[in-house]
Every structure is written in structure tokens, then in C-alpha cells.
Structure 1
């Protein structure tokens, strides 16, 4: 792991050897021995002339431990609230649309947030290099709160859209800044366990997010649901900002406005709520092309040539997240449209996959791979289990041993989640561990790459998967046939992930 960013601990320096005699106004014949002064004599084998560890040193170690614990706890609370906010937005959407007479503008609301978020992603990268991360965290958190408040008091849908744009932009900027906080503020086992626990936060948020939104919307209104959690969010981010180590901004960092515009335009084409199927396909193709160009510009040079260990890891993460989230984007649709599942069935399937990822991720965080060879074995197993899970999902309609399709779909998605859990946390650990020979990537470079790879690949594949499943003529049978083909393609593509795994050298340790 990189050298500690915390201030170096002062060397133990005991009191001057003459301190007691200098500070004691003894009289002739007064006993100034250790026992007489209330100081225990040195133990057997100790040199009485060598000072032992002093209280300042012990206090410094204790302060570092408290700071690290507070930072990790604050990051986990922020992750939990981020998940709650995600489910909150989904829950209050129909309530907001009914109140503001905007049922026909669901697509516009979604597209507005997505475009603003993608515009903020590259700006957050540049800002994280030019300004201190604690100040950025608080500034963007205040901006998120302002956008949420504007949404809550919106008298019309247009004010709500303005608030959504503000929230989305700030969330995009803060995504890279938050990952930078994990990389620069935590090290070693603490960072490994924190990354694993972050996965569990999303399971908790899946349980409490919709319940919170439904309860407060029923008791008060959806407007209060938009702002009720904000004081806790501000407090959590303040804890994180307060306990982050100081880091001087880099004068070499640049804010890429062109990348921000490119990503925003690409996302606008992809998320545009167009009714015409053919125009929708054209805009999707243009958006994917622009997003592909943006990918090469925002990821580290040489990522897909995989010439270094961490470049290969970024390429692996890009493919892993893209393929998993492609399946994730259609699993609920398949459960409902193909197999006629209700809300309870959909919830069971989604929760099964989420628990599989979270629980295995926790185990991998607690017992991380000891070296690159161990990581490749574990990630290779994860790739195999993920591919198997998607194959099982494709076979859900076969009713193996009389088992219903929803149950088979849940089993397959659980396996997919287990495969993702075997890969994800260890991949981040390897990515955030600098190699013995410098590869030209800083802590902020790899943290930004992690966010960008996951965001861009997920957007590309989720849009392509849902568009493919929704196009064509036919009813449920046609959709079912397309889902089998889609799952088959995803399962086959997952096996290709062994290529970047094989490009990762197996001669380096990943333990802190």
C-alpha cells in the first residue's frame, strides 16, 4: 500500500533525565529515589536511562485509530443514504407525477438526471485534482441538498426538473470525489473491509429505502420524503470531510469541459424519451458511438491495451460491470413480462441477487486475496459462477424438476450475484494497490477510473439490453425468446473476461 498520508508520529521523547531533580526543591538528605517520588522503579531488564513510550505517542496512535474509524463509519453511512436516495427517487416518482400532472414526462425526468450526472463525472475528476477533497465533498453535498429542496417545493414539473438537474450534476461530480476519499483516506485492511461493507449498505437500503419513502409520503407527503434525510446526509458527509487527511491540490490537474459536454450529449442521445422506434434506434447508435469515444478519453491511456497490471484490472472491471448490469437491467422485466410475476416475485428475485453479492463481498473483504495469483483464481471462479448464473436465467422457462420459472430465475440471479461478489471487492483492492514498479497512475487516477469504468460500461450495456428486449413485434412469447437470446449472449461475453485476467501478472502481493 502507499505510504501513510497521516502526519508522521513523533518519536517518543521522554522527559529530560534531570527533570525531577530540576523541578524538585529538595533539601539535604531528602530521599529523591523513584519510590519516594511515586514513580515505579524500572522492571528487570529495562535500562532506567532509556525512556519508555510516552503518553503523546500513545495519544497519537489512539487519535489515528479514532479518525480512521470515524472516516470509515461516515463513508458507510453516506453509502447507505445514497442507496436510500436511489430507492426514494423510484418510490416518489409516480406520486410526484400525479401531484404535478406530469405522468407523460417520466422519460424526461429520468433523462434530465442522467444527462446532468454524466456531465458532472469528468468535472469531478478535474476538480478533485485542483481543490481539496473535504471542501469539494461539502460543497457538492450542499448542492445536492439545494436540488432536493427545490424538487420538494416545486410548484410545477419544470421546477422539479431544474432541481433534478442540480441533484444529478452534483451527484456526478461527487461520485469521483467520494471514491477519491476512500482511496486517499483509508489504507490496508480498513479500506478492504470498508469496501466490502459498502456492498452490504445497498442491501440495507433496499430494505429501508422504499419503506422510508412510503411511510413519510403517506404520513406527510412525497415532498417531505425528498428532504427528510438531508440533515443526516449533511452530518455524514461532514464526518467524512472532517477526518480526511490533508492533501495539497495538484497544479497539473485540468478540468475537462470537452469531456463533460461529450458525455452529456452522449447520454442525452441514449436517454432521449423518443416515441419513434426508428429515431430511437438512430439516437441510441449515435449516443453509443459518442460514449465509446468518451470512454477512451476519460480512462487512463492504454487501458484496453492492458500493458500494465492496473490497466488490465480497469479493463476487466469495465467488462465485468457492463455485463452484470446488462443482466440486472432486464431481470425484473423478464420476471414480470415473461413469467407474469408480481411485485412480491420481483422483489424476491432482486433481493436474492443483491444478498448474494453483498454477503460474498463481505467475505472477500474480510478474507481478501493474498496475492495476484490468488486474486486471479478467485476472480476466475467468480466469472465462471456469473456466467453459469446467467445461463440458468436463460433456462428459467424450462421448469427443471417442476420448479417454477420465478424460482429458477431467482436461483440464476443469486448465482450471478455470488459471481459478482467474488470479483468486485478484490478487483478494487488490486486496483487501489500500487505496483512495485510505478505505472504512472496516481491514487486519484485509479479512483476516477473505477467510477468512470463502472458508470460508462453500465450505461452502455443497460441501455442496449433494455432496448433490445423492448423492440420487435410480438407479445410475451416474443419477449421471452429475446430474453433467452440476450442472456445467452451475456453468458458467452462473460467468459471473455478471462482475457484481461490472464494479462494480470501473478508475481505481486496485493496485501497492505
Structure 2
């Protein structure tokens, strides 16, 4: 069953979802660029894990609670609460004098971001037809191009002029603008009864083990296993056994995230330690895949479904090439091909994973697709960290390629 037919506010809602993705991109690049500066100012250069853990843990705490918050507050109430929590958490982080206070503020922003993401994606599933939804996915991918190209330099320039604390607040206008567009287009609607918490709380517990492991791989692996177990309680029934339709699409999303984001997290390490190239060259390779992803998504926005399996296979091939070593040119070409493959595959896979039916509510699917992608990233990074710590950096890319090939096979279901 496809998404509902288009209604008058659909274009406004679509613009809001795309604007929110742009805000997420700006936020991501501001935070990552400022991290060394913040660590130095707070005297936390040896506690980077704590500085980045807050937002990640907040997101994973939000996922099992999102349906309950939406059921209790309604969509508009959730939007208001999430926006206040986001702005308040950012204010706490920007005024922090210790690493723990900064992490607490980031925890609030991560929690709010998770709730707002479920809200926005749930609204898109309810109100956008499939044709418009796949174009929104493609446009959202393209929203990362400008921040990726100009974000780091602009952030450093603003930090030089105003300091990192004011610069950390720079994404707020973009976030508020996107949420305003979404709330004007989406109305309050009844929510399906939330699922029992139970094992879903294993997701934030396992995530805490991964992000706070600080290089101790046994804790990271244990956390990944615990988070994976909790994920099965959030995803629709039949996901683990690859039931045809939405469950199989969500399973493919998990495998894709394990392979691609796991590989992406280690690209600079692989290039500098394994290929022996400079950090500047490694940064060029790192940017090749997201740029290829964004541009290709726009090119296939009209009919993305037919390319999902082929795109994932292409990404698997590009990742496998990296596992055999070589030169800077080979790595650049391979990772660019991997990004093009993601651009071919992701829009169609995402639309399939968020197609409603009588068995799934919009909030359930929104929570499921965010969980599938985020937990897949978590598992991929934990796996890559464990293998690279054991001296298997190139072997890790072989494993990532296998995960992507499996995603290609599963996506055909």
C-alpha cells in the first residue's frame, strides 16, 4: 500500500523536511569542526568520547520513547517540547565550563533531535505520496553538499570572530525554520498505541557501551550486541527473517548502514595508515563518496526503485577494492564509485522502508527507519573499531563489502 494521496500542504511539508535535513547537515559540520577547539578550551583533549557521546546517546534514548511522547503530547506538543529541549540543550553546551556539563547539553539536543526526526519523518509518511517522498529523499541527500564544501571553513571563520560558544548556536535559525514549515503543514493526528518498552531500552544501553568504550573493543562489541538485540524489538515483526516488503527493506537498511557507514568511519585511517597517503589526500577521498551520493540521488529521483540492488552492489564493489590496498588514485575512484552506488540505491530503499500498510503506523515506521540506519551505523563502527584494533584494518573493509553485498540481495525482496 502506498503513502496517502497528496494534499494541499504537501509541498510545504516537503520543503520543511528538506530544510530540516539542511539544518542537520549544518549542525553536524559545525559540531565536528569545533570539536578540537571545544576540547582544548574545556581541558578535555583526553575525553573526546565524552564530548561526542551526549548527542549520540540522546538520539538512542529518544527512539524507544518517541511513540509514547507523540501519543501523550500529540504532534504539535512534541514539536514544541523537542524544539525547547534542542535550544535549551544547545544553550547549556554553549555555556559549559566542564566536559560533563557540555555532554549533558548535547544529551538534551540529541534527545530532541531524535523526537523531532520521528515527528518529521512520520508526517512525511502520512502526508506525502510516494512520488513526492522519493524526491524529498533525493533533495535531502543534496542538502549535505553545501555544508560539506563550505561548512568547515565558515565554521572556523565564525569561531575566530565570535568564539566557539556563539558559533555552536549558529544552526538554531535553520532548525527553527525547518520545524516551522513542518508544523504548519502537519496537523495533530491520533497515534497508534506505543509498543511496550521492554527490550527497546537495550538500544540506548548498548549504545552507551559503544560510544563510551573509548577504544576498549570488548565493551564496544558487547554494547553493539546489546543494541542489536533491542533493535529487533523496535523494528516490525518479520524484519529478522527478511519477510518480503517493508521488513526486508528495513533489514537491507541495517546491512547497508553497517557496511557503508562502517567503511566511511575508517576511511581516513585506512588511507593514512594503510595506503601511506597524507591526511589532506585522505580528506579528498573521504568527501568523494558523499558528493557522489548527493549528485546521483538527484539524477535518479524520478524512478529510484529499479536501482536499489544494482546501486548496493556497486557500493559493495567499491568498498571491496579498498580492502586490497593500492594508490591514492585507486582509493579515490573506488570510494567515489561507492558513493555513486549509494546515490542509486538509497532513495528507493528508503521509500520502500517507509511505505505504510495496515500493519504499520507512520510513527512506527519513522522510528523503525531511523533505528535501522542509526543502529547499523553503530554496529558498523563498533565492528570496524574492533577489527582495526586487532590489526585487521583491511579485513574490516572485506567485511563491510560483504554486508553491502548482502544488503543488495535482501533489497530484492
TM class, shorter-chain normalised?
over 0.9
Match of 1:91 among 30, 33, 36: 33
TM-score, length of structure 2 as denominator length? 0.93
Contact residue 78 and residue 115 of structure 2 kept, 8 A: no
1:339 alignment partner in structure 2? 275
Matched pairs, number: 412
Shift of 1:394: 2.2
2:370 alignment partner in structure 1? 451
Structure 2 distance, partners of 1:130, 1:499, is 40
Contact residue 349 and residue 411 of structure 2 kept, 8 A: no
Contact residue 185 and residue 245 of structure 1 kept, 8 A: no
Match of 1:329 among 265, 277, 285: 265
Structure 2 distance, partners of 1:102, 1:311, is 42
Contact residue 323 and residue 397 of structure 2 kept, 8 A: yes
Unaligned runs of 5+ in 1: 7-63, 370-374, 398-404, 473-481, 505-512
Contact residue 125 and residue 255 of structure 1 kept, 8 A: no
Unaligned runs of 5+ in 2: none
1:495 alignment partner in structure 2? 405
1:171 alignment partner in structure 2? 113
TM-score, length of structure 1 as denominator length? 0.75
Greater helix proportion: 2
1:409 alignment partner in structure 2? 331
Shift of 1:259: 4.5
2:381 alignment partner in structure 1? 462
Change over 3 Å in CA distance of 1:261–1:391 after alignment to 2: closer
Change over 3 Å in CA distance of 1:395–1:281 after alignment to 2: closer
Contact residue 53 and residue 103 of structure 2 kept, 8 A: no
Match of 1:196 among 133, 138, 142: 138
Q: How does 1:381-400 map to 2 (within 5 A)?
A: 381-397=310-326
Change over 3 Å in CA distance of 1:186–1:457 after alignment to 2: same
Tell me: higher relative CO, structure 1 or 2? Use CA pairs within 8 A at least 6 residues apart.
2
Structure 1 distance, partners of 2:180, 2:212, is 36
Structure 2 distance, partners of 1:349, 1:139, is 40
Contact residue 118 and residue 260 of structure 1 kept, 8 A: no
Structure 1 distance, partners of 2:171, 2:313, is 40
Shift of 1:243: 1.3
Match of 1:423 among 330, 345, 358: 345
1:71 alignment partner in structure 2? 13
Shift of 1:212: 2.6
Contact residue 122 and residue 259 of structure 1 kept, 8 A: no
Change over 3 Å in CA distance of 1:444–1:285 after alignment to 2: same
Q: Does 1:272 align with 2:186?
A: no
Structure 1 distance, partners of 2:115, 2:81, is 10
Task: Provide Cα deviations, 1:194-232, integer angstroms capped at 9, x if missing partner.
Answer: 111000111222123212311110111000111123133
Change over 3 Å in CA distance of 1:288–1:233 after alignment to 2: closer
Structure 1 distance, partners of 2:4, 2:222, is 44
